[in-house]
Structure 1
Amino acid sequence: MSDQGNLSHIPPRLVLVTGPSGSGRSTALKALEDIGFEAIDNMPSSLVPRLVRARLERPLALGLDTRNRDFSVDALLTLVEALASLPDTSFDLLYLDCSEDALIRRFAETRRRHPLRPDLPPADGVGLETRLLKTVRSRADMLIDTSALSPHDLRAEIVQLFAPQGRVAMGVQVQSFSYKRGIPRGVDMVFDCRFLNNPHWQPELRSFDGRDPAVAAFIMQDARALPFFDKIHALVESLLPEFAEQGKPLIMVALGCTGGQHRSVAMAEKLANALARGPWRVSKRHRELERKAGVEASANG
């Protein structure tokens, strides 16, 4: 690597993230950022040597792929070897692998064009990129196959691999869902909210969801709602330290109701807000509301 300069500020941990388009690079970089990395995506490889010598106080994660304006396999491999030789730096090349079938399906679902072959079917670009990155894949220090992983699964894998032991609080994701579409995969605890009074039968509330204050207030007026919430809150709070002691990076708690719009959403919001007052990294997901928003976006697209 040229521009040797002063190496005193090279980050002690450096991760280069690459892989085919659609394999989850943006998700991986966001996960690394959440656990303390300075994350930069799609940076020209020619500028990386100067960047790693900047005065950085955090570990550094860089995303590079075939979209980079100066991308070439030879240049990327040369950069990898230069970064790997930096003194006093722990360097890893993380390759996000994915089957061609899964990549083609993802491009079809999102209606995106492949950056290498924007005027042709995605399969053409996927095949070309897979062949192009074959040598880079073989050089990877770490490889994650994202073919069957959701973004949430990939985040958990990243945390498991890169979070320093004891440095990052365990993540807790609180989800709402509809029993009509089944219990979410991979959840650790499930609670059923279907016995609570249903705002769906109130015409003035039906079109809103459980995040609306009027909907939440209606649900909490049910004499059973607060005792139910207090019990599940106490149970989850009592179990989280035990999961953390086992080294689990992420615990997922799911609350379900009939349609996944009112009762489960309100209870998930309330539980997530309560848990966020503790030491955990808490996130929320409302599966059916996300699905509804995606359908509406597609209809308007």
Structure 2
Amino acid sequence: MQNKLVIDIHSFSYKKKGIPKDASGNGGGFVFDCRGILNPGRIEEYKSQTGNDIGVQEFLEQKTEMPQFLKSVQSLISISIKNYLERGFEHLQINFGCTGGQHRSVYSAIKTAEFIRQNFPDAEVRVYHDEQLHLNPATV
């Protein structure tokens, strides 16, 4: 029996820790820069929120080019995911970075995980918010 494809998705801050290292040792994967999307963190009502909050999500979906950005991301990653599943690969890493790792990258990681789970149920998806640790699942 072949092992399952595990897809690790990270949101991170370019300013703080930088691009996450691939713990699998394979290297590669994707790094998407979300800084070209209007930053909700510059708007007072969203400063203390994250990309997991509905207000930030609505802002990104309605007032920025985030939907177009994620559609392009989904198209690109789907090529590799299909290929990796067919070839029996075991790991893929997808990273989303923004200035503080709080709004745009968090949103992108969450929505990309939802897309992969819906379209590639044979893959296991794990999401890590490198700057927003409180959003990560509790580990025992």
Give the alignment of 1:46-195 within 5 angstroms.
Answer: 164-165=1-2, 168-180=3-15, 181-186=17-22, 188-195=29-36
How high is the TM-score relative to the length of structure 1? 0.40
Asked if structure 2 preserves the Cα contact closer than 8 Å seen for 1:196 and 1:222, the reply is: no
The partner residue of 2:132 within 283, 289, 300 is: 289
Percent identity, aligned pairs only, is 35
Counterparts of 2:36 and 2:64 in 1: how far apart (Å)? 11
Counterparts of 2:79 and 2:63 in 1: how far apart (Å)? 25
Amino acid at match of 1:285: Y
Counterparts of 2:77 and 2:60 in 1: how far apart (Å)? 21
Alignment partner of 1:175: what SS?
strand
Paired residue total? 126
1:103-154 alpha-carbon deviations (Å, 9 max, x no partner): xxxxxxxxxxxxxxxxxxxxxxxxxxxxxxxxxxxxxxxxxxxxxxxxxxxx
Alignment partner of 2:44: what SS?
coil
Give the gaps of 5 or more residues in structure 2: 23-27, 135-140
Cα gap change, 1:288/1:228 in structure 2, threshold over 3 Å: closer, same or farther? same
Q: Match of 1:243?
A: 84
Amino acid at match of 2:6: G
How big is the shift at 1:223? 4.2
The partner residue of 1:215 within 34, 53, 56 is: 56
Asked if structure 1 preserves the Cα contact closer than 8 Å seen for 2:37 and 2:64, the reply is: no
Counterparts of 2:48 and 2:69 in 1: how far apart (Å)? 25
Alignment partner of 1:194: what SS?
helix
How big is the shift at 1:221? 2.0
Alignment partner of 1:238: what SS?
helix
Give the alignment of 1:267-286 within 5 angstroms.
Answer: 267-277=108-118, 278-279=120-121, 280-286=123-129
RCO comparison, higher one (Cα < 8 Å, 6+): 2
Counterparts of 1:224 and 1:213 in 2: how far apart (Å)? 17
1:239-270 alpha-carbon deviations (Å, 9 max, x no partner): 11222334321211001000000000001111
Counterparts of 1:224 and 1:169 in 2: how far apart (Å)? 33
